[in-house]
């Protein structure tokens, strides 16, 4: 699979000042992956073998159905369903003991998720390197608007351990501040929104300010996805 699909100029993403930079990277990788699967990858038997085996999660199936590329999707689906039928026949899709014990037997296999996760690990390594070595990057990092909760956790898990010990404390503090400041401000907006339902605040001239979509933005912060 073409490597370049999964290469993102990390520096440039951090030059922007709105939203969560990690969400932006994830969105770029996701967009390119879906484009590729329903386009050029149709001609690559290796990729088809993999998508037949792994399939896709609900989110990525839905994103593909929204793209109106019905024929490529039908072709991918047809051979994936063949594979599923074969696996059921050979008892390969029965939950194993470990899954049953954990209480979670949902099938998590997704070609797109796997590719994104793989590329994100490389992005986290790059972020750690840039933060450890470049003052400009540290300033760009600090100037971000927000780190959403999911990516706050991922930064601590996959990036912080790779930051040089000289800068790790600062990195962790910056990540925490960016996430905490946002959660406080969105909490205030949700509060403002709920206060607008008071009798005293109702009426034609009720000024909701920017709070009308505060619930959606809070969901985005908590899940890294805006409800659609």
Q: Which residues bind Zn ion (CB under 5 A)?
A: 20, 22-23, 57, 60, 110, 112-113, 148, 151, 224
Cβ proximity to Zn ion, 67 vs 196, nearer residue: 67
The minimum distance between CB 196 and Zn ion, in angstroms, equals 28
Cβ proximity to Zn ion, 90 vs 228, nearer residue: 228
Specify whether the CB–CB gap between 72 and 35 falls below 8 A.
Answer: no
The minimum distance between CB 148 and Zn ion, in angstroms, equals 3
Q: How far is CA 151 from the centre of its chain?
A: 8
Cβ proximity to Zn ion, 48 vs 225, nearer residue: 225
Report d(CA 181, CA 17) in Å as an integer.
Answer: 15
Cβ proximity to Zn ion, 133 vs 216, nearer residue: 216
DSSP string computed for the chain:
--GGGG---HHHHTT--SS-HHHHHHHHHHHHHHHHHTTGGGG-HHHHHHHHHH---HHHHHHHHTTT-HHHHHHHHHHHHHHHHHHHHTTTTSPPHHHHHHT-------HHHHHHHHHHHHHHHHHHHHHHH-HHHHHHHHT-S---HHHHHHIIIIIGGGS-HHHHHHHHHHHHHHHHHHHHHHHHHHHHHHHTTSGGG-STT---TTGGGHHHHHHHHHHSS---
The minimum distance between CB 56 and Zn ion, in angstroms, equals 6
The minimum distance between CB 115 and Zn ion, in angstroms, equals 9
The minimum distance between CB 88 and Zn ion, in angstroms, equals 21
Report d(CA 219, CA 60) in Å as an integer.
Answer: 19
The minimum distance between CB 146 and Zn ion, in angstroms, equals 8
The minimum distance between CB 67 and Zn ion, in angstroms, equals 15
Cβ proximity to Zn ion, 24 vs 162, nearer residue: 24
Q: How far is CA 65 from the centre of its chain?
A: 19
Cβ proximity to Zn ion, 57 vs 64, nearer residue: 57
Cβ proximity to Zn ion, 32 vs 60, nearer residue: 60
């Amino acid at each position: 699979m073409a490597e370049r699909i999964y290469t993102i100029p990390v520096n440039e993403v951090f030059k922007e000042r709105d939203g969560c930079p990690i969400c932006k990277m994830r969105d770029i990788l996701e967009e390119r992956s879906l484009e590729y699967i329903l386009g050029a990858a149709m001609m690559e038997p290796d990729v088809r073998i993999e998508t037949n085996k792994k399939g896709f999660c609900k989110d990525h199936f839905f994103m593909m159905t929204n793209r109106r590329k019905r024929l490529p999707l039908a072709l991918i689906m047809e051979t994936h369903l063949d594979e599923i039928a074969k696996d059921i026949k050979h008892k390969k899709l029965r939950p194993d003991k470990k899954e049953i014990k954990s209480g979670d037997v949902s099938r998590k296999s997704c070609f797109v998720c796997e590719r994104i996760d793989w590329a994100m690990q490389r992005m986290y390594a790059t972020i750690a390197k840039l933060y450890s070595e470049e003052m400009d990057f540290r300033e760009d990092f600090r100037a971000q608007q927000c780190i959403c909760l999911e990516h706050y956790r991922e930064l601590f898990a996959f990036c912080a351990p790779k930051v040089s010990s000289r800068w790790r404390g600062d990195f962790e503090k910056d990540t925490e501040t960016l996430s905490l400041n946002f959660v406080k401000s969105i909490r205030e907006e949700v509060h403002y929104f709920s206060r607008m339902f008071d009798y005293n605040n109702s009426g034609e001239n009720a000024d909701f300010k920017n709070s009308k979509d505060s619930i959606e933005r809070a969901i985005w912060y908590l899940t890294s996805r805006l409800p659609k």
